[in-house]
């Protein structure tokens, strides 16, 4: 056992965490009255181009973004139109590109100047803002500095540490959704060839609940709609998502839908600017007149974790109307394509309106109104994101959304279906490539048949289980393909101690982040090419990579910029380099040949992964190809062969109900500001929410501020639950009075991750429940 558990009164594990620099800022609050997008977005683009110190290079990069001959935007996973050119303006896509194509570099001199202990006091913004990593570095515990190491020695060290492990299951292979299909395929092959399914990924912290719920209900874990369905939908419901910041290109689609008269309905405790009003920076006339379009025709504001109850309330209203003889349900669809409707109806009828109101925070009238909007539409899409998937009862909530869609036949017809809007640009593709700790036998069979070697059958660890394993059994090897695992996952204090227990931590990264600073006995930074850069093989030929978006479109991506440094290697080169050292030259996988020509990797993918026949030809078509989704044909690969209703009971109480009785406690959601990409912080502003020059703020309902005995503008420390003996706190947050439902607070992630116990996670999904965290506030020693 490691020393991760502490007595409640011991010094807090998180006390070491708050980055001093971020703490010193004094955030300002202002009132943002303009629509989302618009001039503010253009101004911000200019600022970020300039800050990258290579504005011209970056301006050129932007014109190749999401073009058939360019590279895939490293921002979100929203789809591209299949036809025509699509230079889609997206402020946050610009930030993602310029952040990668910066002229700044993190050199060996930088690491000589700054010890790791010193860098640990820097905040996330400062670390990444140093620029691109350029050469492999190894941590020297004696000097407390990272020092240069050759690629050969670095890869030797990884292989040596892996070979020294007692069992293959002592290795953990983490993937962030930035990784392209080719790297992801090689990574899972490396892990499995090594003998483990320990392939946790960022999906475990993200849309896992969607995958679990959709697979159980419909037989496939992916969304069923394509981009053109948004052109035909009569209603679009957006649950728990902030597209204005996180999927800005989706706003254009919503706005077009609104213009042609579709009903747009949002469910969000916060009034997100992007969902209310949007001015398109690509429509100059509109901007000149400062016009903007209302996006959400209707806006419901449930309490945190209240969506399952809200949707059930809608279903209850529909069943009541059906019982009264109104033609609101699609009985033909229900009879032909669904199973277990009666059990569901019984469950819904047994759920009391009073309980639905108490849990959802919506009134019966509002739930009936939402049901009416839904019933009126003949084709409805339901979109959702983290506001739905990061709760304890997220799987049940997603299933309830699917239940609702089924009631009116909104599956497998134009303009209707499920749309879990994914996060990372290739997170969906990574799963398709086999990045999954619980692989299906079919995948393992296919791998065994193709490579003629055995694959491990027992399941591996997901992200939370990986932390527990490292906490409880020191000496593991952790390899991160992209991402910032240590910072992204919950319970930062516990996680940092778990990572420090490792024999080796090695990260394949483009930018410096906190994961690099929490070192195992050995630690390596392995810097790689980014997506915007040209990836050449030994013969000088540029390689193509591929990605899959949220609508299951697979397409190519080719970098156009010169690599940030000639020492950088591609992800595939680094991974195959490790594999060669582990398995030798005459391995059944010819690793070196794969590195030399990614077409060969795609040949392997075509042979092993269903749906990729003729991959190399099809991916070269301008917009790629669609991985057909059987749900779109009303085919359901479930036990019954039908779309299955679930009849889960409502949770007895969700967090806001539990905390109502605990004096001084409040439910906190941890979310993204407009100036961040997950743990990558581009700046200290959150324009649409009216915050400037700081991230350590807590948004609270005015009445809660008074009830808790504080005042707006006051500094507080946030204290989390400690029933398991771990003290959890994050210090120094400024109170901002905000329009959020009573009992529901909000603050930015990752600064709030120290507050979330590892075990506070989704049932079945094991996703940290980062949208319903119990916290209490204490006056802070930090004075204004």
| Binding positions for ligand MGD, rule: CB under 6 A | 75-76, 92, 128, 176-178, 202, 205-206, 239-242, 245-247, 267-270, 272, 302, 304-305, 307, 385-387, 390, 423-424, 481-485, 488, 508-511, 513, 528, 530-531, 571, 669-672, 676-680, 749-750, 752-753, 756, 770-771
State the nearest-atom distance from the C-beta of 552 to ligand MGD, in Å. 17
By a kind-dependent CB cut-off of 5 to 8 A, residue 240 interacts, out of ligand MGD, Mo ion, none, with ligand MGD
Question: Nearest distance from residue 676's CB to ligand MGD, in Å?
Answer: 5
- Distance (Å, rounded) from C-alpha 573 to C-alpha 591? 9
Q: Which of 22, 2, 6 is nearest to 14 (CA)?
A: 6
For residue 313, what are its two tokens?
Answer: 């309330």
Min dist CB 739 to Mo ion, Å, is: 26
Least Å distance, CB 482 to Mo ion, is 13
Taking the least distance from each CB to ligand MGD, the nearer of 412 and 480 is 480
269 binds, among ligand MGD, Mo ion, none (CB under 5 to 8 A by kind): ligand MGD
List CB contacts of 297: < 8 A, sequence separation 6 or more: 258, 263, 264, 265
The residue assigned the tokens 């469950």 is: 347
- For residues 593 and 583, the answer to whether their CB atoms sit within 8 Å is no
Whichever of 12 and 176 has its CB closer to Mo ion, that residue is 176
- The site partner of 208 among ligand MGD, Mo ion, none (C-beta below 5 to 8 Å per kind) is none
For Mo ion, give the closer residue by CB, 96 or 408. Answer: 96
Q: CB 512 → Mo ion: shortest distance, Å?
A: 21
Closest CB to ligand MGD among 97 and 171?
97
Please tell me what DSSP assigns to residue 670. Answer: E
For residue 556, the partner it binds in Mo ion, ligand MGD, none, with Cβ less than 5 to 8 A by kind, is none
Could you tell me the two tokens for 450?
Answer: 């193709």
Q: Contact, 747 vs 699, CB < 8 A?
A: yes
Its sign, for the CA torsion 394, 203, 765, 445, is positive
Cα(326)–Cα(320) distance, integer angstroms:
9
Q: In whole angstroms, what is the distance from residue 143 CA to residue 133 CA?
A: 20
Gap between the Cα atoms of 49 and 45, Å rounded = 6
- The distance of closest approach from Cβ of residue 70 to ligand MGD in the complex, given in angstroms and rounded to an integer, is 15
Which residues 6+ apart lie within 8 Å of 654 measured at CB? 303, 304, 305, 306, 359, 391, 392, 393, 772
The number of helices, as runs of H, and strands, as runs of E, in the chain is 33, 31
Euclidean distance between CA atoms 92 and 473, whole angstroms = 40
Alpha-carbon distance of 283 to 609, in angstroms, equals: 42
Least CB distance from residue 670 to Mo ion, whole Å?
Answer: 13
> Of 222 and 345, which CB lies nearer to ligand MGD in the complex structure?
222
Q: Which long-range contacts (CB under 8 A, 24 or more apart) does 536-543 make?
A: 537/595, 537/596, 537/597, 538/596, 539/596, 541/597, 543/570, 543/572, 543/597, 543/598
Which partner in ligand MGD, Mo ion, none is near 672 (CB below 5 to 8 A by kind)? ligand MGD
Please, which residue, 250 or 334, has the CB nearer to ligand MGD? 250
Residue number, 753 or 780, with CB nearest to ligand MGD: 753
In the complex, minimum distance from the CB of residue 7 to ligand MGD, in angstroms, rounded to a whole number = 26
Tokens 């996952």: give the residue: 489
Complex with Mo ion: residue 423 or 456, whichever CB lies closer: 423
Residue closer to ligand MGD (CB basis): 447 or 775: 775
Length of the chain: 784
**Least distance from ligand MGD to the Cβ atom of residue 251, Å:** 12
Angstrom distances, CA of residue 40 to CA of 194, 279, 298, 579: 50, 10, 25, 48
CB of 272 to ligand MGD, least distance (A): 5
Q: Which of Mo ion, ligand MGD, none interacts with 380 (beta carbon under 5 to 8 A by kind)?
A: none
Q: Cβ neighbours of residue 19 under 8 Å, at least 6 residues apart?
A: 121, 122, 123, 124, 126
> If contact means CB under 5 to 8 A according to the sort of partner, which of ligand MGD, Mo ion, none does residue 209 touch?
none
- When the beta carbons of 390 and 727 are compared against ligand MGD, the nearer one is 390
Least distance in angstroms from the C-beta of 445 to ligand MGD: 30
Q: Which does 245 bind (CB under 5 to 8 A by kind): Mo ion, ligand MGD, none?
A: ligand MGD
In the complex, the smallest distance separating the C-beta of residue 92 from ligand MGD, rounded to whole angstroms, is: 4
Question: Which residue has the closest beta carbon to Mo ion?
Answer: 423
Q: Which does 76 bind (CB under 5 to 8 A by kind): ligand MGD, Mo ion, none?
A: ligand MGD
Beta carbons of 59 and 94 less than 8 angstroms apart: no
669 binds, among Mo ion, ligand MGD, none (CB under 5 to 8 A by kind): ligand MGD
Between residues 616 and 676, which has the closer beta carbon with respect to ligand MGD? 676
In the list Mo ion, ligand MGD, none, the entry touching 417 (Cβ below 5 to 8 angstroms by class) is: none
Q: Is 130 helix (H, G, I), strand (E, B) or coil?
A: coil
Number of Cβ within a 10 Å radius of residue 547: 31
> Which does residue 740 touch among Mo ion, ligand MGD, none (CB within 5 to 8 A, set by kind)?
none
What is the maximal distance between C-alpha atoms in the chain? 78
Residue closer to ligand MGD (CB basis): 571 or 644: 571
Choose among ligand MGD, Mo ion, none what residue 188 binds, the Cβ cut-off being 5 to 8 Å by kind.
Answer: none
DSSP 588-652: SS-HHHHHH-HHHHHHHHHHHSTT-TTHHHHTTSTT-EE---GGGGT---SSSSSEE---PPPPS
Closest approach of Cβ 168 to ligand MGD, in Å? 23
Q: Which is nearer to ligand MGD, 436 or 749 (CB)?
A: 749
With respect to Mo ion, which residue has the nearer C-beta, 208 or 571?
A: 208
Residue 182 binding: pick among ligand MGD, Mo ion, none (C-beta 5-8 Å cut-off by kind): none
Give the nearer residue to ligand MGD in terms of CB position, either 272 or 704: 272
Q: Which does 651 bind (CB under 5 to 8 A by kind): ligand MGD, Mo ion, none?
A: none
> What distance in Å separates the CA atoms of residue 580 and residue 123, rounded to the nearest whole number?
37
Cα-based distances in Å from 737 to 30, 50, 696, 719, 747: 11, 33, 14, 19, 12
Residues that bind Mo ion (CB under 5 A): 206, 423
Closest CB 183 distance from Mo ion, rounded Å: 18
Q: Give me the least distance between CB of 636 and Mo ion, in Å please.
A: 27
Beta bridge partners of residue 393, listed in sequence order: none
DSSP state for residue 528 in the 8-state scheme: B
Q: Copy the structure tokens of residue 757.
A: 């116990």
């Amino acid at each position: 056992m490691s020393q991760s558990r502490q007595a409640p009164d011991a010094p807090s594990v998180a006390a070491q965490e708050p980055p001093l620099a971020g703490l010193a800022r004094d955030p300002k609050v202002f009132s943002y009255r303009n629509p989302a997008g618009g001039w503010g977005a253009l101004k911000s683009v200019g600022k970020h181009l300039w800050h990258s110190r290579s504005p011209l290079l970056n301006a050129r990069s932007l014109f190749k973004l999401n073009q058939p001959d360019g590279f895939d935007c490293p921002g979100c996973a929203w789809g591209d139109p299949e036809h025509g050119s699509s230079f889609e303006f997206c402020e946050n896509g610009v930030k993602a590109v310029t952040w990668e194509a910066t002229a700044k570099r993190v050199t060996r001199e930088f690491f000589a100047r700054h010890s790791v202990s010193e860098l640990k006091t820097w905040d996330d913004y400062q670390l990444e803002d140093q620029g691109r990593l350029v050469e492999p570095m190894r941590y020297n515990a004696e000097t407390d500095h990272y020092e240069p190491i050759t690629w050969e020695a670095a890869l030797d060290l990884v292989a040596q540490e892996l070979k020294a492990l007692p069992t293959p299951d002592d290795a953990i292979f983490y993937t962030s959704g930035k990784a392209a299909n080719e790297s992801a395929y090689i990574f899972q092959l490396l892990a499995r060839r090594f003998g483990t399914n320990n392939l946790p990924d960022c999906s475990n912290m993200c849309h896992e609940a969607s995958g679990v719920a959709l697979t159980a209900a419909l037989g496939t874990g992916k969304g069923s709609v394509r981009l053109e369905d948004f052109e035909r939908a009569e209603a679009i419901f957006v649950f728990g998502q902030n597209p204005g910041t996180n999927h800005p290109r989706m706003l254009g689609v919503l706005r077009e839908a609104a213009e042609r008269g579709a009903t747009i309905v949002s469910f969000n405790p916060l009034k997100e600017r992007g969902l209310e009003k949007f001015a398109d920076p690509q429509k100059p006339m509109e901007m000149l007149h400062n016009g903007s379009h209302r996006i959400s025709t209707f806006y419901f504001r449930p309490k945190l974790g209240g969506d399952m109850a809200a949707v059930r309330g809608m279903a209850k209203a529909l069943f009541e109307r059906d019982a009264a003889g109104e033609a609101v349900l699609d009985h033909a669809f229900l009879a032909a394509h669904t199973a277990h409707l009666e059990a569901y109806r019984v469950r819904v009828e047994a759920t009391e309106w009073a309980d639905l109101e108490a849990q959802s925070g919506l009134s019966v009238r509002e739930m009936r109104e939402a049901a009416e909007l839904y019933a009126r539409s003949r084709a409805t899409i339901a979109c959702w994101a983290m506001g739905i998937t990061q709760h304890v009862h997220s799987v049940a909530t997603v299933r309830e959304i699917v239940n609702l869609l089924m009631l009116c036949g909104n599956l497998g017809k134009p303009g209707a279906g499920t749309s879990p809007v994914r996060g990372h640009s290739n997170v969906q593709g990574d799963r398709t490539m086999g990045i999954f700790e619980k692989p299906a036998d079919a995948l393992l069979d296919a791998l065994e048949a193709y490579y003629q070697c055995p694959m491990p059958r027992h399941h591996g660890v997901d992200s939370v289980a990986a932390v527990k394993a490292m906490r409880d059994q020191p000496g593991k090897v952790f390899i991160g393909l992209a991402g910032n695992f240590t910072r992204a996952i919950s319970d930062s204090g516990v996680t940092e101690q778990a990572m420090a227990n490792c024999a080796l931590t090695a990260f394949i990264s483009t930018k410096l982040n906190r994961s690099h600073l929490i070192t195992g006995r050995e630690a390596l930074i392995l810097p790689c090419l980014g997506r915007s850069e040209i990836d050449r093989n030994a013969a000088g030929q540029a390689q193509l990579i591929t990605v899959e978006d949220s609508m299951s479109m697979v397409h190519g991506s080719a970098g156009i910029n010169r690599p940030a440094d000639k020492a950088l290697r591609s992800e595939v080169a680094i991974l195959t380099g490790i594999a060669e050292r582990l398995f030798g030259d005459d391995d059944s996988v010819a690793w070196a040949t794969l590195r030399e020509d990614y077409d060969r990797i795609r040949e392997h993918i075509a042979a092993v992964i269903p749906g990729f026949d003729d991959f190399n030809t099809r991916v070269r078509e301008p917009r790629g190809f669609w991985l057909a989704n059987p749900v779109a044909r009303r085919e359901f690969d479930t036990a019954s062969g039908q779309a299955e209703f679930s009849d889960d009971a409502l949770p007895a109480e969700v967090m806001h109900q539990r905390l109502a009785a605990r004096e001084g406690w409040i439910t906190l959601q941890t979310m993204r500001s407009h100036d961040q990409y997950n743990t990558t912080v581009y700046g200290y502003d959150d324009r649409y929410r009216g915050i400037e020059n700081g991230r350590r703020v807590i948004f609270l309902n005015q009445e809660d501020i008074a009830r808790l005995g504080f005042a707006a503008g006051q500094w507080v420390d946030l204290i989390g639950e400690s029933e398991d003996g771990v003290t959890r706190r994050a210090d120094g947050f400024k109170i901002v009075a905000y329009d959020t439902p009573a009992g529901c607070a909000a603050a930015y992630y990752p600064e709030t991750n120290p507050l979330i116990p590892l075990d506070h996670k989704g049932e079945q999904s094991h996703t940290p429940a980062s949208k319903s965290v119990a916290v209490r506030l204490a006056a802070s020693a930090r004075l204004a």
